[in-house]
Amino acid sequence: MITCFDIGGTTIKAATATTPDSLIHLGRQPTPTQDFEVFVAVIAGFVAKGGAPGGSPIAISITGVIDPQTGLVTCANIPCIDGKVLSDELAARLDRPVTVANDADCFVLAEATSGAGRGHRVVFGAILGTGVGGGIVVDQKLHPGAGGLGGEWGHGTIVATKVDVAPYDLPHFACGCGLSGCLDTVGGARGMERLHRHLHGAELPSTSIVDAWSAGDSAASQTIDLFIALLAPPLALVVNIIGPDIVPVGGGLGNSRELIARIDAAVRPRILRHLDRPLIVPAELTADAGLVGAAALGLGAGA
């Protein structure tokens, strides 16, 4: 048995499992972001609640970056763990082995082993959530990359400034990573909202923009057209470089099957490989992807 966790900046979810597909949910609690002792106590409480035997492992999917060489966590959303080797500290306090991985990596591992990527050799998981993220699995083994940054396609000055969808000229927006022109600035939910504001001067959440587009609203349709024009070329480049068999899309924008189908239709003509089937597809595991991926990693799959 393993106790697995999906930890974000606001919520900790926990479950026990004997296989990645056999989750028994233990509930959720607010994430203690400022006090490490309280953070450890919450983890310990869930382990006790699940009844995991002494010495049984813990696996954690967490927001932030985990250096695969050192285990060091960089996590601005949870200051009390930032700069810590979380796996070692929890292992020492709870007297059991602990595996910690980035939430994007756990997402793609879950999709590769139990979701839309089942049966495919190379899986690139694309996250279109608040921002843009991703991860890579090859032969059901996670490829975290140097510094734990494999699959992070949302950064780098790559966004086009001239497109054949109005407006024809766009500025490069500043990114939280310190660069400007990153896909993260226009490619996730906040990016879609930024484009809509730039085009129409209106503040709308991404969910409302997608709903209005689906209903035929002209302003929302212009925003979606621009969003896809900016997103599709970088995603096609990622596909050409990595060569995935399939690209499951997670995050909030991944919930719109119509949007994902539009992205797929825009990406496939731009790649070298000719496919007569969808390549960019909705993720199958949404709410539990972090827990499933953590369980798979902790149980030895993907390591």
Which range, 68-77, 177-186, 256-265, 294-303, has the best average confidence (pLDDT)? 256-265
What's the rounded mean pLDDT across residues 104-118? Answer: 94
pLDDT at 164: 87
What's the rounded mean pLDDT across residues 114-135? Answer: 95
Residue 153: pLDDT band by 50, 70, 90 thresholds? very high
pLDDT at 209: 98
pLDDT at 299: 87
pLDDT at 262: 98
pLDDT at 84: 96
DSSP string, the chain: -EEEEEE-SSEEEEEEESSTT--EEEEEEE---S-HHHHHHHHHHHHHHHTPPTT--EEEEESSEE-TTT-BEE-TTSTTTTTSBHHHHHHHHHTS-EEEEEHHHHHHHHHHHHSTTTT-SEEEEEEESSSEEEEEEETTEE---GGG-TT-TT-SS---SB-SSSSSB-PPPB-TTS-BS-THHHHSHHHHHHHHHHHHS----HHHHHHHHHTT-HHHHHHHHHHHHHHHHHHHHHHHHH--SBEEEESGGGG-HHHHHHHHHHHGGGSSS--SS-SEEE-S--TTHHHHHHHHHHTTTB-
Q: Please write the tens of the pLDDT for every residue from 51-108.
A: 988 889 999 999 888 998 899 999 988 999 999 999 999 999 999 999 999 999 999 9
pLDDT at 301: 60
Q: Please write the tens of the pLDDT for every residue from 136-148.
A: 999 989 998 888 8
Statement: residue 193 has pLDDT above 90: yes
Q: Please write the tens of the pLDDT for every residue from 207-259.
A: 999 999 999 999 999 999 999 999 999 999 999 999 999 999 999 999 999 99
pLDDT at 303: 55
pLDDT at 220: 98
Note the helical H segments in 51-127: 86-94, 103-114
Q: Please write the tens of the pLDDT for every residue from 7-57.
A: 999 999 999 999 988 999 999 999 999 999 999 999 999 999 999 888 899
Domains of the chain (ranges; CATH) run: 2-105+288-298 (3.30.420.40), 120-282 (3.30.420.40)
